[in-house]
Amino acid sequence: MKLRADLHVHSEFSFDSKSKINKILKKAKKEKIDILAITDHEEFLGGEKLKNLSKELIVICGEEIDTEYGDIIGLFLTKKIETKKFFEVIKEIKKQKGIAVIPHPSIHHILTDEVLNSIDLIEIFNSRVGNSGNEMAKMLANKIKKPGIAGSDAHFLFEIGNGITLIDSKSKNIEDIKAALQMGNVELLCKRSPKLKRYWAKFVKIWRRR
């Protein structure tokens, strides 16, 4: 079966987003999304709250962590990751039987061989990244033979669904979904976020930090 997944979404629990959990659920239903990953910055609560709110949507609890080598996303987590040291983050993701993803690799990453060998997936389409950045990510994934995924990186409700990973899974079982992702059994449905909206997101980030 093919399942529509947005694997990179932020909620009000990220410092740079104001998207309420109940409204994320409503938007996901509107976009006919089957799987949604909440990947808040250094936070885990959003995914748990969404999972408790919906029994139909398959919710992946995740976290986006800022490390010395750049951002890393852990998917299928069971608890918050406290460390911000890259290889300790990877170790903790694996301990939780999660999947390690490099998001938007063209932005603020130090991509050593050791870093690239340690991750499972590369986000080769991010709706907030320009064409050249996404093309670089795709070339990187091909070069190191890592499966690629798409994600909206939604910080606003209207962005949810802009980066869809269509997962060809045996079932809706989490282990089958994980296996399909790691084998690269996916298609990508991509739509970029409007540039003006991305600038507005930067304003919200600054405003919320005040």
Q: Which residues contact 67 (CB under 8 A, 6 or more apart)?
A: 84, 85, 86, 89
Q: Which residues pair with 168 in a beta bridge?
A: 2
pLDDT tops 70 at residue 200: no
pLDDT band at 194 (very low <50, low <70, confident <90, very high): confident
Query: Can you point out the beta strands (E) in the chain?
Result: 2-9, 35-38, 58-61, 63-67, 70-75, 99-102, 121-126, 148-151, 163-168, 186-190
Where are the chain's structural domains? Answer: 2-209
The second-level CATH assignment, the architecture, of 2-209 is Alpha-Beta Barrel (3.20)
pTM: 0.92
Task: Give the SS3 label for residue 194.
Answer: coil
Q: Mean per-residue pLDDT for 101-129?
A: 97
pLDDT tops 50 at residue 196: no
pLDDT of residue 192: 80
Location of structure tokens 């084998």: 183
Instruction: Give the integer Cα–Cα distance in Å for 90 and 88.
Output: 5
